Structure 1
Amino acid sequence: MNVATNEPVRARYPLLSAAGFLWFWSADSLSMVGTYITALALQVLAVETLRASPIELGVLAAARWLPYLLFGLIAGVLVDRYRRRPVLVTADLVRAGLLAVIPLSATMDVLSMSLLIAIVVFFGTVSLTYDAAHQSFLPSLVPPELLTPANARLEQSSAVAQTCGPVIGGWLVRIVGAPLAIMVDAASYLISGLIVARLRVTERSDPPPDRNLRLELREGLAWVYGHRMLAPLAIASHGWFFFSAMVSTVYVLFVIDELGFGASTLGLTFASGGVGAVAGASVADHAGRRFGIGPMIIGCRWLTPVGYALIPLAHNGVAGLPLLCAAQFLFGVSIGVDSPLEMGYRQSVTPDRLLGRMNATMRSLNRAAIVVGAPIGGVLAAWLGIRWTVWIAVVGLLISALALTTSGFRHARSDVVAPR
């Protein structure tokens, strides 16, 4: 008799014993589907309804992340001072309300690029606090040894959402229009907030007694950029986000305007990326244990430019769509493997009192790279054309991957755990 078949299910799948994580996972999965619907709907709304130029698309992409550049580090300090669950709930409810303004303003015929950008800026301001709390909340739900598997499950949900969301979004945009499609995301945030509100988890209830904003900011920055493993990872990630933002900014314009494909076809290419991300996240934990955290993350950083190099090779016609789908698939695989390994490693080596600042520092400066990279991508596309812009970004991604490869991060291990 096979003993393994008689093991309790919860012993074989320990995350099933973490009830709080299961609810958190459900809430996150729901909101992620809506997020990918909105990601597509916003760009289609800007391109087809508001007739945005490449530069305006770059500004719109940057607007989502501008608050991370302005307030991200401060958000990390606040998250480390207070309980994280109330922050998550409040942010979800506020974001639901902000998104609802878009279809309302469209109905009243007052929607413009200026208003859309303003809404996105406010949305990003709320999201930066949510993100810092979200990434710091997981260690309260699972023990350190389950951080990578838990992050892998979250990444799988994100990948499934990336697969389904754009397809659903493409059909919703076609049937009800882009503004009403965004209402689906608003509803998902509302339900997510209500789910997280019912979680029961032990968190620090009192702020630390020695509160000094400048010292707390300095401590968070020193931890990230003074750490011999986190520092090269952070710097390489900033470059990755900068050059990836150049590609993502012009991609929708390239597919719809230059190649002549519709919103549903665009959604199909994004869905291919979701399939790749599901596949990557499915093997991330095993691959990290088998080949090492450092080598696997570095390998993913090389895979991204390989995938993106296929985009400028695509033309309208039969061969164009498979190339775009392959490009997104390879990009999805790189994200699916990289993200859970990176998050699990960062959470495991960082003490709880620094989690908010560590996550906010890395995430905020990554998003700051998008704020700079997205408009530059739009300007280059208007000046040199979209294909040349993508080639420039591919070269930049290769340089970023090379820098991480030659750093000490290639020796990063998963068995180094910081005290909680």
Structure 2
Amino acid sequence: MDDSEADDPNRTSPRPAASGGWSRLSASRGFLLLWGAQSVSTLGASSASFVLTLEVFRDTGSAVALAVLTVMSSAGNIYLAPLAGAFADRIGHRRAAILANVVLATASAVMATVSLIGPGRLLGLVYPLVLVSAIAASMLTLTLTASIRRMRQDADLTRINGVTTLLQRAPVIVAPVVGAALYATVAPAYVYVVDGLTSLGCVAALLVVRWDAPPLAGPRRANPFPGARDGLAWILRHRGIREMQIGFAGLNLFNGLGVTATTAYVILLADRRWGSASGLAAYNVSAAVGLVAGAALAG
């Protein structure tokens, strides 16, 4: 952490003392500001993703195009997440979060321009934008999750994790309804503009709220996957774990195929009765509620 961050009066204490009521209040306000801004940004991003799905299918009529969107999003959010996390550790979590939001805002601005031309005509540009946005979103999620332990006391972690889970999942449930309403009332380009503005709002929050997350000290490893080889070897040696991982891999593969086909089917079927936006919104909300309910029952 540089000297300017250490002397900044707006910087929140990473672990406020039990006797420091003002420090606890300052940390709580900073925490809520940061995660509240991120919740609004998640709503904007999820709404924009909803609108993009409708636009691409409207212009192409192709389930393959939707499948490629899913592949790009999953690659950035899941498979490239270790790279994003390693990069965040190298430059510092707060700087990484600011950079991620700037990238997301820039991608939204480009997507708004693409929307005016027609996403179906510029799929070669849409796919890389989705991939870059997914990587940035992954890095942002990782850094903000890491901020929880630095900004809150250990005794608060269970309650705070519940709050952050709500702030992360609630926008995903509401976003399809918001996206459908916006798609029916305004040009899709405006949705991407609003999405970009919410990312810039997160940048503003990050400039105010600071936590102790400097770059990692010591020698830097060229390999962003330390221990991955040993971990894979351990999985392969244990039959039960190995079979479970293979089962999950197959489940995720067929689930991805099913989601893409179902999305295209829902859009086509709903367009005849209620409108493609309303039908897809109902489908997405039902899926999100089902995931939350399943997680609650499993817990």
Instruction: Name the TM-score, length of structure 2 as normaliser.
Output: 0.75
Deviation at 1:269, TM superposition (A): 3.6
1:264 aligns with 2:257: no
1:88 aligns with 2:117: no
Which residue does the alignment assign to 1:218?
226
Instruction: Give the residue type in structure 1 aligned to 2:68.
Output: V
Which residue does the alignment assign to 1:163?
173
Once the two structures are superposed, the pairs formed by residues 14-413 of structure 1 within 5 Å of their partners are 18-48=28-58, 50-67=59-76, 71-108=80-117, 111-203=121-213, 205-214=214-223, 217-219=225-227, 222=230, 235=245, 241-259=252-270, 260=272, 261-262=274-275, 263-273=277-287, 329-335=289-295
Alignment partners' CA distance in 2, 1:37 and 1:272: 16
Residue correspondences, number: 267
Note the alpha carbon deviations across 1:353-401, whole angstroms, 9 max, x for none. xxxxxxxxxxxxxxxxxxxxxxxxxxxxxxxxxxxxxxxxxxxxxxxxx
3-state SS of paired residue (2:225):
helix
CA contact (8 A) 1:15 1:21 kept: no
3-state SS of paired residue (1:179):
helix
Which residue does the alignment assign to 1:277?
none
Deviation at 1:213, TM superposition (A): 2.0
Instruction: Give the residue type in structure 2 aligned to 1:57.
Output: L
Instruction: Pick closer, same or farther for the CA change 1:134–1:177 going to 2, 3 Å.
Output: same
Which residue does the alignment assign to 2:14?
none
Alignment partners' CA distance in 2, 1:209 and 1:118: 34
Alignment partners' CA distance in 2, 1:242 and 1:147: 34
Instruction: Give the residue type in structure 1 aligned to 2:67.
Output: G
Alignment partners' CA distance in 2, 1:241 and 1:16: 43
Deviation at 1:249, TM superposition (A): 2.1
Q: Which has the higher contact order (CA 8 A, sep 6+)?
A: 2
Instruction: Pick closer, same or farther for the CA change 1:163–1:207 going to 2, 3 Å.
Output: closer
Alignment partners' CA distance in 1, 2:147 and 2:199: 17
CA contact (8 A) 2:180 2:281 kept: yes
Deviation at 1:208, TM superposition (A): 2.4
Structure 2: unaligned runs, 5 residues or longer: 1-20
CA contact (8 A) 2:73 2:131 kept: yes
RMSD: 3.3
CA contact (8 A) 1:15 1:150 kept: no
Instruction: Give the residue type in structure 2 aligned to 1:83.
Output: G
Which residue does the alignment assign to 1:285?
none
Which residue does the alignment assign to 2:11?
none
Instruction: Give the residue type in structure 1 aligned to 2:53.
Output: Q
Instruction: Pick closer, same or farther for the CA change 1:329–1:192 going to 2, 3 Å.
Output: same
